[in-house]
Amino acid sequence: MVDQTRLPDLHMRRLSTPDELVDAIRRLVVRGAPALGVAGALGVALCARLYATEAEVRAHATRIAEARPTAVNLGWGVRVALASLGHGPDAVLAAALKIRDDEIASCHAIGARAASWLHDTRAGAPLRMLTHCNAGSMACVEWGTALGVVRSLHAIDRVESVLVDETRPLLQGARITAFELAHDGIPHRVIVDGAGPSAIARGFVDVVVVGADRIAANGDVANKIGTYPLALAAARAGVPFVVAAPESTVDPHTPDGEAIDIEDRGADEVLLVAGHRLTPIGSSAWNPAFDVTPADLVSAIVTERRVWLSPGSRS
């Protein structure tokens, strides 16, 4: 897999054991809800070839599923692959590869559906868009969810430019989203996270499009920390706030955002930059990986099957 911690420099990693996969998931070598689902499923396929007993495979699969708690797709991919365990390793691999292919197809469908909806609801000049974190090919295997929407609109000449939040503390926007947009020749500018709400308030943004790591049954959305302030700013400015995600990210067993387990990550991600300490010795840090945007701040959730208009819909 591509080591996402090294982007924009391109480095490949080969993973041969469940321990290596768990470490890669925790260190964000692989990240993004759909990509985590595929990685989890392929991890089960790997275990099915490495271990002789079903008990061993299931034990390692549990470790993989629990490597990151917030992204629902990881555990989902593991469960779907495990369902084929009784039919042998080849069947598990086939199930994992089907998840991969289905995720690619769903992202293309999400992009097309969201582009059509935005084309109809925001008719006129090409759109000035803003996105946060990375929900593109690196996070979603090939096309992307939020960036899939950007790509689909770009294909019909409906994108003027994209503002890309840098996405502290690990800079997924600056390192990964900008890398993908530059590769595709889509006009963009990187901004510091704190500038996003101000850009919306000043009328520089026509639509905010983000991905999601878990969507609760009531439409509350967990996404990378820093998403919630964008939704607040969009609501105040009357700008559509669109969430693009596959149906597999919708968790009917999580009733609302309060029930979502928010991952806290290590303090060094905040206190250090590229291994260099920028803060005084003795300073501590709080590092939640995600925040929750309430459903009433979301204009629409677009999946491969539907456009889910939320209570706060602002089309």
| DSSP codes joined into one string, 78-96 | HHHHHTTGGG-HHHHHHHH
- Residue 304 carries which side chain, given as an amino acid letter? E
* Under 8 Å between Cβ of 191 and 164: yes
pTM of the model: 0.90
Q: Give pLDDT, residue 70.
A: 81
pLDDT score at 274: 79
> Alpha-carbon distance 81 to 158, whole Å?
39
Confidence at residue 314, expressed as pLDDT on a 0 to 100 scale: 46
Q: What does each of the 315 residues of the chain score in pLDDT, given as a tens digit?
A: 999 999 999 999 999 999 999 999 999 999 998 999 999 999 999 999 999 999 999 999 999 999 998 878 999 999 999 999 999 999 999 999 999 999 999 999 999 999 999 988 887 889 999 999 999 999 999 899 999 999 999 999 999 999 999 999 999 999 999 999 999 999 999 999 999 999 999 999 999 999 999 999 999 999 999 999 999 999 999 999 999 999 989 999 999 999 999 999 999 999 998 789 999 999 999 999 999 999 999 999 999 999 999 754 544
Dihedrals phi, psi of 128, to nearest 5 degrees: -95, 115
DSSP 8-state assignment for residue 223: E
Nearest CA to 245 among 225, 222, 226, 229?
Answer: 222
Which residues, at least 6 apart from 156, have a Cβ–Cβ distance to it below 8 Å?
115, 119
Q: Where are the alpha helices (DSSP H) in the chain?
A: 18-26, 33-50, 54-65, 72-82, 89-121, 137-140, 146-155, 172, 178-184, 195-201, 227-237, 268-271
Helix (H, G, I), strand (E, B) or coil at 135: coil
DSSP 28: T
Both structure tokens of 10: 């391109």
Question: Residue 315 has what pLDDT?
Answer: 44
Which pLDDT score, from 0 to 100, does residue 135 have?
A: 95
What distance in Å separates the CA atoms of residue 233 and residue 245, rounded to the nearest whole number?
A: 21
HSE of 106, CA atoms in CB hemisphere, 13 A: 23
Decide: 242 and 114 in contact? Cβ < 8 Å.
Answer: yes
**Tell me, what's the pLDDT at 84?**
97
SS3 per-residue string spanning 235-302: HHHCCCEEEECCHHHEECCCCCHHHCCCCECCCHHHHEECCEECCCCCCCCCCECEEEECHHHCCEEE
Contact 156, 123 (CB under 8 A): no
Catalytic residues: 213
